[in-house]
Every structure is written in C-alpha cells, then in structure tokens.
C-alpha cells in the first residue's frame, strides 16, 4: 500500500462518517483522521482565549501563535495545542455551538487544510470531513460521500450526546443539525458538497 494513499470520506454531521472511517482504517491497517477535530480544537482554543470568530485580527493572531503537535494514538491522529491536550473537550456543548462559525473562516480552513495535508507523513490515511475529497485531497481516487435522512442523523447525534450525560432535547438536536447543514453547504469557502 502506498504511503501517500488517502481515502476521503465526506458528508454532513452525524451521517456515520466517523464510524465508517474508523472501521475502514482498522480493517486496512491505515491511520484514521477526524478533520473536524482540528476545527473543534481551534474552537476550543478560541473559547479559552476569549476570541470571538468575528474578531479577525485575534483569530489570525491565534492561528499564527498556536503550536500544534500531532501524533498517532491507537490508530488515530491526535494533537496537543500549545502543549495542552483538548481531546476530552472537543465535543463539549460550547465547542459544538461555535465550531460551524469558526470553520467558515477562510484563514481557518486554510490553516486546517495545510495541517491535514501534512499528516500524510504518518502513512496511508482514512480521513473524514466535509471537504476532504473536494479540497484537501482532490487528487485521491478514493472519494466517498455518506449521508442519511435528517431524522436518522438527529437520532444518532441525540444518542451520542445523551450517552455523554448531557441533557439534550431531540428536537433541538435536529434543528441544530439542519442549521449546521445549511451553514456548511452555503459557506463561500469549501462548502460541503459531493466530491467529484
């Protein structure tokens, strides 16, 4: 298997990308990358620094100053930001509420895209996201797009969030997913789309 092989699995939130990507990576002996973790990591960093996504100068300063260290743990790419491990906070309610706005910032998308491309140093990758096959690795011949009925996606996300012990209302989860779909598919930079 070539070291620079990338399997791109794109799709909207809660469509099963993570589950399928982990299974494929495990079965093929490849490294799994959740591209959304990088956006959530930046969102976590912005929240800790008190940076609002509309504060362009501060956003750019955090991008320029933050130090990212990537490593593979149990077949998954993880990272430290400025020596701190944010992994357990990446799916917290505050991060979830702000990540779509952060991910829509063109400079953030370029920052994450550059880091994602650099991860090929870890060998063959299964990478999931919203623009992996269309923007990050458009040259890969292995592009897959997963989707599911919004009701089913909302059920998946509800079970995930409730399983972490967070108090959630199903209709709020469904509304949030639909809003995220709208933001992701209409943003000017790297919108969610089926990769060609």
Residue ranges of domains in the chain: 6-186
On whether the CB atoms of residues 9 and 3 are closer than 8 A, the answer is no
SS3 of 57, please?
Answer: helix
Rounded Cα distance between 8 and 2, Å, is 15
DSSP state of 47: H
Phi, psi dihedral angles at 18 (to 5 degrees)? -65, -45
Q: Report pLDDT for 167.
A: 82
CA 71 to the chain's CA centroid: 17
Give the containing element (helix H, strand E) for 60.
helix 56-65
Burial class (CB in 10 A: 0-12, 13-18, 19+), 118: exposed
Q: Nearest CA to 145 among 158, 132, 160? A: 132
Coil, strand, or helix at residue 12?
coil
Cα Rg of the chain (Å, integer): 16
Share of the chain above pLDDT 70, in %: 100
pLDDT at residue 128, as a whole number: 98
Question: pLDDT grade, residue 162 (50/70/90)?
Answer: confident
What is the per-residue pLDDT for 191? 82
Q: How many CB atoms lie within 10 A of CB 139?
A: 8
Identify the band that residue 98 occupies on the pLDDT scale cut at 50, 70 and 90: very high
Euclidean distance between CA atoms 98 and 193, whole angstroms: 21
Record: fold of 6-186: Rossmann fold (3.40.50)
Judged against a pLDDT cut of 90, whether residue 64 lies above it is answered with yes
Residues in the chain: 196
Helix (H, G, I), strand (E, B) or coil at 185: helix
């Amino acid at each position: 298997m070539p070291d620079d092989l990338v399997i791109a699995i794109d799709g909207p939130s809660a469509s099963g990308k993570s589950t399928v990507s982990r299974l494929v990576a495990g079965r093929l002996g490849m490294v799994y990358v959740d591209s959304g973790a990088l956006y959530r990591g930046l969102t976590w960093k912005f929240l800790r620094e008190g940076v609002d996504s509309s504060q362009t100068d501060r956003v750019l300063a955090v991008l320029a100053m933050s130090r990212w260290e990537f490593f593979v743990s149990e077949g998954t790419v993880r990272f430290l930001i400025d020596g701190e491990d944010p992994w357990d906070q990446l799916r917290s309610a505050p991060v979830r509420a702000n990540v779509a706005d952060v991910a829509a910032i063109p400079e953030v998308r370029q920052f994450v895209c550059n880091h994602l491309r650099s991860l090929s140093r870890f060998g063959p990758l299964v990478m999931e996201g919203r623009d992996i096959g269309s923007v990050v690795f458009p040259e890969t011949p292995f592009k897959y797009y997963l989707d599911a009925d919004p009701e089913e996606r909302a059920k998946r996300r509800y079970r995930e969030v409730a399983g972490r012990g967070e108090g959630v209302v199903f209709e709020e989860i469904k509304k949030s997913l639909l809003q995220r779909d709208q933001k992701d598919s209409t943003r000017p930079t790297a919108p969610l789309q089926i990769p060609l």
